[in-house]
Structure 1
Amino acid sequence: MQWGTPTIFSSLPPPPYVCMYPSASGGLGSLSATTHPTAHAQPDHSNPEIYINLSILEPLTTAQTWVTGLAQRENIIIFEPIGLIMNLTIKNARIPFTSGVWDICIEGGHIANIVSSEVRGGSDVLDARGGIVCPGFVDSHIHLDKAYTANSLDEAGFEGVAEARDTQGITPSLRSLKEAFSEGDVLDRGRRVLTESLKHGTMAHRVFVDVDRIVGLKCFNAALKLKREFNGLMDLQIVAFPQEGLAGNPENVELLYKAAELGADVVGGIPWYENTAEEGERHLDEVFNAAKSFGKDVHIVADDTDDPLSTNVLHVASKCLREGFKDRCAASQCRGALDSPNDAYVNRVIKLAKLAGLSVVENPQTSLMLSGGGSTHPFKRGLTRVLEFAHAGVNVAAGQDDIQDAYYPYGRGSMVEVGFIMIHAARISTARGLQLVYNMITHNGAKIMKLKDYGLENGCQANLLVFEEKSVHEIFRNMARPKHVLRLGVPLLTSTTKTRFHQPHNLAS
């Protein structure tokens, strides 16, 4: 499919935008539309910021007419597909934490060269104008199936989350919410999360979906469809997650194994949710057995509790070594006993995590919201020992975790926002600390997901973000969105923001 030179390189009108992508047969995957126009449909001008899959516009001659008419409207821009692979030079780019301005030469969807002040003939050029260029962001922990359900809960529902964390049981409000889930409902909300996060430059997600006797495999099946639907636009890994526990729940165990058999990328676990430490151990046994049976990695929500006796992360690290899962396991929300002043225990965990190649994922927004909920002042900070783990050489990454659900009623899929909150929660003000947070939402997450050819070096896939900001510090300070998002060197979308003072002379008075 050939649609000519994309308008991304011409002067841009104000937002919002319509973003066009090739069909699945075109090689870049498909992205279902917010609305579903037929071959002879008229543009939906009531909601212009919409993603449209060209494969639903048939025949192509009609599609071209439809696209042309839409492109002529004010305040709308079309990014026209120009084929699977293109050659491109991003000139005047700043690379994070390096000096100078560089040209990034892209050939065949990969970075061919990074040179000072060179523009290769015959390629299209994107001028970064001195802005930061970095690889796409990585969200190491997100629950798509629960996203955008906060409006279905009243205050009792939100209070029920804290209650459930104490009693180790799901509350009636959350149970009824999950019972109402349908595959189509999860699909719609999942699409909303992924399209919104793409605007913020998130190009890889580790997606947690519940598999239990309440929802069965509905959430998992929806995630499989989303993975196929967004193939080529972003990388998705599916974690089969036994949210309601495994001990004494043979049906939940069976569903976990079934999801691993049917295509889950990762087997998840939540041992702290069980009633006793012994049940938590049995929970981990089932998780690792399922992962071993089907050759999967493991991701555990270890100690997402204020209980100072919760030590699951230590058992997870030990089990990684015993079961042959070195460098194949991640643990999120590692608080519990790590939140205590027991330095001997902390040192044991960090040492064992390093030996096991265990990665640690912190989701700062949800952790800050939920930790210390049952206590009076002073509240716990609610963060695992991010700096201690990192300084010891443990791989530490970050995740959004929740978006507008019972656990966190905010969030918008912005890993820059996640990093901004991390900076404050971990009290980071140094250049070294800033680089750590940047790595947590890029390279460290990519290491957990084992993303192929990720980064900003020769040979890496050209899945890149171009910012107007000229430093990583400015990106976090402004909580910025990327100006351009590219997949394999192909421009996917552009955002512009313009502010006009109507009476600027009054501002100086």
Structure 2
Amino acid sequence: MDVERTLITNVHLAYEDAHLAKQLWDVECLNGRVLDIVPSGNFQREPPVVTAGCSTVIQGNGGTLLPSLCHAHIHLDKCFIMDQCDPLLTGSLSEALQVMNKAKARFPDQLADLHARATRLVRESVEAGVTEMRAFVEIDTTVGMVCLDTGLKVKSEWKGVCDIQIVAFAQEALYPSAAAETPGDNFELLRTALARDGISVVGSAPWVEPSKEHAHKNIIHILKLAQDYGLHADFHLDYNLDINVEPMVWETLRQMRRIGWTKIGAGNRRVTIGHATRLGLFSAEEWSRLRVELDELPLGIVALPQSDVYMMSRPSSDGTPTVPFAERTLDVARIWRNHGIHVALSVNNVENAFTPHGYLDPLTLACLEVALFRRSVSTTPKEVIGVMKDAGRPDGYAADGLVPFIGGPADFVMIHEARRWQSGVLSPSFDRTTVVGGRVAARRTGSRWTILDGMESRQGNT
């Protein structure tokens, strides 16, 4: 069997210690794992370029090497669609739902476009450094299985480059009316879809149901489907800023406990909630209660600041936003600092009515989060969706999971122009290299020119 070696040379690593952070390092990888990490130029073995098998040298030139990035929550079927949407006037959640439902109705007649947009999302994400993502595709009576078919096709096409968890997602209500005692056609379609290979997650948006009681039943149905098919569960949940509305996270946790979905018995299967803006109104006592629950139950939280800041403005009667920017989404740094609960960040949507602004690059998302809360980037998204590899670090000194460790996975993003890891968050550069399993999966470079370039030489010839 061929031995595949890769040497990543002359890179900065994300050490907290100032001396280690300034040092340039070489990272040697063997068959997709980190074999050694030493100060640059100090390898005692033969250089990888002369060893047997497939060998590669990646020149870092002083850039910063970080763990590869992850979309913990992104919609694969509704991206890059603003040119197909009606104008946005209010920026409200109800408007976004109406506009997107109208656009979505055309998906079955636009299969080539659906595939092209999804492929663009994955390609540009990989170029930015993403190697794992949880991708939602909708299943309902409007689109049938076309979004799922496209998602599974794209998942297969990008196998080995980007690990795509496909979420069979019910954005629409499972119950057709407030009087319905049993779920309707949307539920039957969802259940039928789960028999297909390649689905990792089943999800829904309980708050779209016609009543609170139906929303609670939605949660029960999704958890039962996840149990039956051995899947993760993922809910769009508690997407409001109403102190008078009881958070549904408590019902979710209660049902998890009722069916025995605990950390001990669930293996790697997790329940995740996205948005969860209502949790931002929690008291210290509520956060303490949630922390106790999360010690036993495998539930993760994903904040989606680009969407939340846009739609959670709660406009006053004259249309003026009444909620400050930083109160429209979860303050993940404060939540960790004060309550010891990790909250992941993710992009959610790209260029659609839910998120008309922003880009799919997780580092620009982290930069936004720094502006709101002065928070740094971490590997939390991979933990939340259950794809975190080798959480234990035998070297014992890796900082916040951002430093490679011997024996760990060789999945990285190199930020070429960042001379310290903080720069990768505060001002992430365009030029990047994505490494998956020790192999270069993508390289993104830009060119620069201004009218002044070469001016000096031209003046010398006049």
Task: Give me the CA root mean square deviation.
Answer: 2.6
Matches within 5 A, 1:392-403: 392-403=339-350
* Counterpart residue type for residue 196 of structure 1: E
Q: Are 2:197 and 1:272 equivalent residues in the alignment?
A: no
Task: Check if 1:408 corresponds to 2:355.
Answer: yes
Measure, in 2, the Cα distance between the counterparts of 1:292 and 1:385: 32
Deviations along 1:45-91, one digit per CA (max 9) or x if unpaired, are xxxxxxxxxxxxxxxxxxxxxxxxxxxxxxxxxxxxxx997312112
Q: 1:173-188, aligned counterparts within 5 Å?
A: 173-182=99-108, 183-188=111-116
TM-score (structure 2 length as normaliser): 0.81
Q: 1:410 to 1:482 in 2, by over 3 A?
A: same
Contact 2:272 2:384 in 1 (8 A): no
Q: Distance in 2 between matches of 1:201 and 1:85?
A: 25
Give the letter for the 2:322 counterpart: P
Deviation by residue 1:400-420 (Cα, 9 ceiling, x = unmatched):
100001101123320001111
Query: Hey, what's the Cα distance between the residues in 1 that align with 2:136 and 2:412?
Result: 25
Please state how far the C-alpha of 1:251 moved relative to its aligned partner.
1.0
Q: 1:85 to 1:149 in 2, by over 3 A?
A: farther
The residue that corresponds to 2:367 in the other structure is 420
* Match status 1:384 vs 2:330: yes
d(CA) in 2 for partners of 1:176, 1:272? 20
TM-superposition CA deviations, 1:182-232 (whole Å, max 9, x none): 343321110011111112111111001111111111111111111100001
Residue identity opposite 1:267 in structure 2: V
Q: Which runs of 5+ in 2 are unaligned?
A: 50-55, 177-182, 264-269, 392-400, 457-462
Q: 2: distance between equivalents of 1:484 and 1:280? A: 44
Preserved contact between residue 350 and residue 389 of structure 1 (Cα < 8 Å): no
TM-score w.r.t. the length of structure 1 is: 0.74
Determine the C-alpha separation between the residues in 1 that align with 2:150 and 2:236: 22
Q: What's the secondary structure of 2:385's corresponding residue?
A: helix
* Per-residue CA distance 1:333-386 (angstroms, 9 max, x = gap): 1122x2436444444334323432321111111111110244444324211242
Corresponding residue for 1:359?
300
| Separation (CA, whole Å) in 1 of partners of 2:435 and 2:216 | 44
Check 1:198–1:148 CA distance in 2 against 1; reply closer, same or farther (3 A cut).
same
Structure 1: stretches of 5+ with no match in the other structure: 1-82
Distance 1:461 1:482, change over 3 A: farther
Deviations 1:258-315 (A, max 9, x none): 2222132011121122232211111101101111111111111111123330411222
Contact 2:271–2:298 (Cα < 8 Å) also in 1? yes
Show the counterpart of 1:106: 29
Of 167, 171, 175, which aligns to 1:247?
A: 175
Deviation at 1:233, TM superposition (A): 1.0
Check if 1:96 corresponds to 2:14: yes
**Amino acid aligned to 1:329:** V
CA contact (8 A) 1:184 1:222 kept: no
Pick closer, same or farther for the CA change 1:384–1:315 going to 2, 3 Å: farther
Q: Secondary structure at the match of 1:240?
A: strand
Rounded to whole Å, the distance in 2 between the matches of 1:403 and 1:220 is 18
Secondary structure at 1:207's aligned position in 2? strand
Q: Distance in 2 between matches of 1:187 and 1:501?
A: 37
SS of the residue corresponding to residue 372 of structure 1 reads: coil
For the 8 Å contact 1:360–1:394, the answer to whether it is kept is no
- Of all paired residues, the percent bearing the same amino acid is 23
Return the alpha-carbon distance in structure 1 between the equivalents of residues 201 and 311 of structure 2. 25
Change (3 A) 1:504 1:281: same
Q: 1:258 aligns with which of 178, 181, 192?
A: 192
Deviations 1:141-192 (A, max 9, x none): 0001100111111225x64853358xxxx53x43331110034332111001
Please say which of residues 106-115 and 205-214 is displaced more in the overlay.
Answer: 106-115
Which of 38, 55, 66 in structure 2 is aligned with 1:134?
66
Q: Is the 8 A contact 1:201 1:482 kept in 2?
A: no
